[in-house]
Homo-oligomer: A and B are copies of this chain.
Amino acid sequence: MPRRCGKGPRWFCGELRGCGRRLTEAREIVLGVVDKSDEHLSAEDVFRAVRRVNRGIGLTTVYRTLDLLVNMNLLSRCDFGDGRARYERIRGTKEDHHHHHLVCTECKKVVNYRDFIEEEIELLGKTEKALSRKFNFTIRDHLIQFYGLCDKCRQRD
């Protein structure tokens, strides 16, 4: 009889075990930190939050864990062009909380939006079909981002 996995939610423990991985405090804390936040956190952001819970966890481990969680499809890694990766939790089904981003090029503020997502998805389908045929590509993912100036930055100029 396998010993009850000490800490952390069962499902997470299970997912990890499933691929021969171990449930550690660092992994729990990192997942918890990103999960709680509704921001787009950098590795450094996550590191700072993690340290508040356990001072002993190193930046290297945070990087490694974020990588792992992205590969497990629990987090998504974003690039808003400021030279550092950012992470956010993928909630529920893939299609469920799908959203795109609106980035202020001035203050780097990022807004999630879902307006016209349906139309974007429809366009995606169309494009996928056409490009698949034309270039023999299998499309797996897409990136749609809008750049501009937020309210405050527009006025400031």
Listed in ascending order, the chain A residues whose CB lies under 8 Å from chain B are 79, 81, 102, 104-105, 111, 113, 115-116, 119-120, 123-124, 126-128, 130-131, 134-151, 154
Contacts and interface: CB of A to CB of B under 8 A. Distances in A.
A131 to B, nearest CB: 6
Given A116-B126, A137-B150, A138-B149, 10 more contacts: A102-B139, A105-B140, A111-B137, A119-B126, A131-B146, A136-B154, A139-B146, A140-B148, A141-B146, A142-B145
Contact of A143 (B119, B127, B147, B150): B147
A72 to B, nearest CB: 18
B81 A135 contact: no
A123 to B, nearest CB: 6
Interface centre among A127, A147, A149, A150 (most CB of B within 10 A): A127
B154 A147 contact: no
Contacts of A81: 79
A150 to B, nearest CB: 6
